[in-house]
């Protein structure tokens, strides 16, 4: 199956090209970037530190879509929505790892999934997807007597905070305790905050250096605490998960899928 990579010259795009090359069921069909990118015209394989793949980095997304069956996109919300508009008439499947969508944009992505197959995840790491399941279960078992806090850390160039992964972790904890994530989240603390409110979930974002991604779900109760932590050591972790999702998507019917579907994780 031929795969197209959006934002192919970026660090994540290069990791995706490498992972596609290593996957026995996939081949790179197209790679593209924004019109003003300095890497346009280069061989995508060489750009990613691999052997020549005879796929030239283009700025013509619509032509590139004719060269692939599924597209992997880890770009930015506006660029992703432009891709969705082009993928619909072309009938191309999508694997979307972009974060920072507005509610309206996410609704548009879900609407598109009525006509094409889409795998969407705020994090394609297999370990993170297990963390979400474990955090939800921990919240169910520990209950309201245990205070929940989320601490996430990323590199100093990340533009959105909290991370999409942390927000999904918040949703998992709230699902486990029957809370509304929009009402219970507390972003950081400063000054005279007073005692912690019942049902509050703390959210803290760190931006420093070249941290790939760290997420901690902390549950603290009477006399004990539980910490569930995931650390990503390389972007290849996310790339391998996304490529696995692309291979899984294959000829699946139109629908809005998650990594839980890809991995066969039970959702309650």
- Residues designated as active site: 154, 158
Q: Is 3 left (phi over 0), alpha (psi -120 to 50) or beta?
A: beta
Q: Strand 213-221 vs strand 224-232: parallel, antiparallel, or unpaired?
A: antiparallel
Q: What does the alpha-carbon distance between residue 169 and residue 165 come to, in Å, rounded to a whole number?
A: 6
Nearest-angstrom CA–CA distance, 170 and 168? 5
93, 118 in Cβ contact below 8 A?
yes
Asked whether 200 and 160 are in contact (CB, 8 A), the reply is no
Enclosing H/E stretch for 186: strand 185-187
């Amino acid at each position: 199956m031929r795969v197209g990579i959006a934002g192919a010259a970026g660090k994540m795009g290069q990791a995706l090209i490498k992972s596609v090359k290593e996957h026995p069921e996939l081949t790179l069909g197209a790679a593209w970037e924004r019109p003003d990118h300095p890497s346009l015209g280069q061989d995508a394989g060489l750009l990613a530190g691999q052997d020549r793949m005879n796929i030239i980095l283009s700025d013509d997304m619509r032509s590139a879509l004719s060269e692939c069956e599924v597209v992997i996109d880890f770009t930015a919300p506006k660029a992703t929505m432009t891709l969705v508009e082009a993928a619909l008439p072309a009938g191309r499947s999508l694997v979307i790892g972009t974060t920072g969508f507005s509610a309206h944009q996410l609704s548009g992505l879900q609407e598109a999934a009525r006509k094409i197959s889409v795998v969407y995840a705020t994090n394609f790491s297999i370990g993170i997807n297990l963390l979400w399941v474990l955090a939800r279960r921990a919240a169910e078992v520990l209950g309201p007597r245990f205070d929940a806090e989320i601490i996430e850390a990323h590199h100093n160039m990340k533009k959105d905070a909290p991370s999409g992964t942390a927000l999904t972790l918040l949703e998992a904890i709230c699902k486990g305790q029957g809370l509304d994530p929009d009402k219970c989240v507390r972003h950081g603390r400063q000054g005279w905050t007073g005692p912690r409110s019942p049902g509050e979930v703390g959210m803290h974002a760190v931006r420093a250096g070249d941290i790939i991604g760290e997420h901690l779900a902390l549950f603290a109760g009477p006399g004990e605490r539980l910490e569930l932590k995931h650390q990503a050591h390389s972007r290849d972790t996310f790339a391998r998960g996304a490529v696995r999702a692309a291979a899984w998507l294959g000829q699946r019917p139109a629908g809005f899928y998650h990594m839980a579907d890809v991995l066969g994780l039970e959702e309650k």
